[in-house]
Homo-oligomer: A and B are copies of this chain.
Amino acid sequence: MIKPRTPPGVMELLPRDQIAFQRMLDTIRRVYESFGFLPVETPVFELSEVLLTKTGGETERQVYFVQSTGALAQGAEGLPEMALRFDLTVPLARYVAEHEHALAFPFRRYQIQRVYRGERAQRGRFREFYQCDIDVIGKDTLGVRHDAEMPAVIHRVFSELGVGAFTIQLNNRKLLRGFFAGLGIADGERQALVLREIDKLDKRGAEAVAATLQAEPFALAADVVAKIMDFVQFRSRTQAEALAKLDQLAGEGSDADLAAGIAELREVLRMLQAQGVPESDYALNFAIARGLDYYTGTVYETILDDHPQVGSVCSGGRYDNLAGSYTKSKLPGVGISIGATRLFWQLREAGIIAAAESSVQVLVALMADEGVADALDIARRLRAAGLATEVQLEPRKLQKQFQYADKAGIPFVALQGEDEAARGVVRIKDLRTQEQFDVPREDPAPAIVARLQAEVTR
């Protein structure tokens, strides 16, 4: 006998949790599709040579390799032929480069699949997890308006997920670069080191970070550090505040990068308003830098206002060239990613989401063995009206059947006893309210459908 268990670092759910998780994925997909993104799926494994074009990164050290039984038996030398994808961006780059001539640009794709990383095993860290990505890829150029569409999508997703108040935080890498250049910190590597310290603001506090920036090896002057601290701690609360801040920055410096970053952020803010995103739900935050060697323009992070400890639940940004490893075409893009597995796990830990009602909406109970044909026919009529219906196929104490439905989270039980059969009706019990009502035997669905719809719109 082998002990049944999953490998460490995976999130496997019981059915009611799986239903809740599935609803989260369905919501994300529906919103992505509503904004006109097209579905793409790529294989779980890629050729190692194709996947690992860059070496040495943290992510690459976490790669899982895949070997066939045959290759393993031969003890083949060198890297195994295939590896599991560690994100959806490298597969997207490979996909776009491979199918370039068959795609229309700007190419708008969504992809909701699992990725694999050999993370250290610990609570809340996953080795297998869903990413839900959208990207818009241009050929040669891609206007900044596409950067402005991303926060509108994020806004719709998190509004529909119903996870409380959230703030989409915006920044721009060009603006960052220009700002630091204006303070005499022009070197990219030096900027990166300063930004790394700023990233510790939440953990260490402003004073400690300021002290570090004044000390070796940074040795920045006190007034420079004061300007930096002022800059990175700014958060706009309204559209007007955001625009005023950009005006102020434009007045203080003449750096070309700074000007470009300001212009891009202005356009993003203007388009957010045009798209009806409430100004309370987004903010400028100059402390956001994201993957320093990858993003080149707008960057995004999204925080849950009442649960800042969860960290960013949706991040992304603008990049200059998606697929330089695979094609000579220049493919600039902008995208965002939701790590759905971690998000679900954390929301559940925080008590924000609970196990869902069952995906089964009606249980047709069985009172006596000879009633099974009737029960099956009632179920057929309910299903035809779109109701997910389970039939009790073998007789069992009625009380047990109700207990089962209650525990499983099935809201309605339908039953037809002798009395109901004589009157040509089916009795429906709503287990949540304990209400009972009769529906016509030949047309049992409408009353249940109406109740469920009333709940959705309530």
Q: Which residues of chain B are near A387, meaning CB under 8 Å?
A: 34
B372 and A50: CB pair below 8 A? no
- Give Cα A221–Cα B389 distance, bound, in whole angstroms: 52
- Give Cα A94–Cα B72 distance, bound, in whole angstroms: 25
Q: Which residues of chain B are near A360, meaning CB under 8 Å?
A: 33, 36, 38
A18 and B44: CB pair below 8 A? no
A149 and B393: CB pair below 8 A? yes
Contact mask for chain A residues 344-387; partner B; CB cutoff 8 A; 1 contact, 0 none: 00000000000000111001000000001100110010010011
By beta carbon, the residue of chain B nearest A324 is B1
Chain B nearest CB from A421 CB (Å) reads 15
Known: A6-B98, A80-B67. A274 touches B372 (CB 8 A): yes
By beta carbon, the residue of chain B nearest A83 is B69
Chain B nearest CB from A139 CB (Å) reads 13
Q: A377's contact among B33, B99, B276, by CB below 8 Å, is which?
A: B276
By beta carbon, the residue of chain B nearest A373 is B274
Chain B nearest CB from A332 CB (Å) reads 13
Known: A38-B358, A65-B67, A67-B80. A47 touches B14 (CB 8 A): no
- Give Cα A358–Cα B107 distance, bound, in whole angstroms: 13
Known: A6-B43, A7-B81, A12-B42. A65 touches B66 (CB 8 A): yes
How many A residues touch B, CB cutoff 8 Å?
Answer: 98
Known: A145-B393, A390-B36. A7 touches B383 (CB 8 A): no
Q: A128's contact among B7, B43, B408, by CB below 8 Å, is which?
A: B43
By beta carbon, the residue of chain B nearest A73 is B61
Query: Among residues 2 to 29 in chain A, which have CB atoms less than 8 Å away from a CB atom of chain B?
Result: 2-7, 10, 12-15, 18-19, 22
- Give Cα A238–Cα B55 distance, bound, in whole angstroms: 65
B80 and A72: CB pair below 8 A? yes
Q: Does A45 contact B (CB under 8 A)?
A: yes
Chain B nearest CB from A138 CB (Å) reads 10
- Give Cα A292–Cα B360 distance, bound, in whole angstroms: 34
Q: Does A248 contact B (CB under 8 A)?
A: no
B14 and A102: CB pair below 8 A? yes
Query: Among residues 413 to 428 in chain A, which have CB atoms less than 8 Å away from a CB atom of chain B?
Result: none
Q: Which residues of chain B are near A38, meaning CB under 8 Å?
A: 15, 18-19, 358-360
Contact mask for chain A residues 109-148; partner B; CB cutoff 8 A; 1 contact, 0 none: 1000010101000000000100000000000000101100
- Give Cα A86–Cα B391 distance, bound, in whole angstroms: 31
Q: A62's contact among B69, B80, B408, by CB below 8 Å, is which?
A: B69
B1 and A328: CB pair below 8 A? yes
By beta carbon, the residue of chain B nearest A275 is B376
Residue among A15, A49, A388 having the largest count of chain B Cβ atoms under 10 Å: A15
Q: Does A206 contact B (CB under 8 A)?
A: no
Q: Does A41 contact B (CB under 8 A)?
A: yes
By beta carbon, the residue of chain B nearest A326 is B4
Known: A7-B46, A66-B84, A383-B34. A271 touches B376 (CB 8 A): yes
Q: Does A35 contact B (CB under 8 A)?
A: yes
Q: Does A185 contact B (CB under 8 A)?
A: no
Chain B nearest CB from A448 CB (Å) reads 14
Chain B nearest CB from A45 CB (Å) reads 6
- Give Cα A67–Cα B80 distance, bound, in whole angstroms: 9
- Give Cα A4–Cα B30 distance, bound, in whole angstroms: 30
B380 and A275: CB pair below 8 A? yes
- Give Cα A183–Cα B8 distance, bound, in whole angstroms: 53
Chain B nearest CB from A127 CB (Å) reads 9
Chain B nearest CB from A201 CB (Å) reads 33
Chain B nearest CB from A83 CB (Å) reads 9
8 A-B residue pairs with CB within 8 Å: A3-B326, A6-B43, A14-B102, A34-B383, A65-B66, A143-B393, A143-B394, A146-B393
**Top 9 A-B pairs, shortest CB-CB distance:** A36-B390, A274-B373, A15-B38, A4-B326, A4-B98, A4-B97, A10-B43, A145-B393, A68-B118
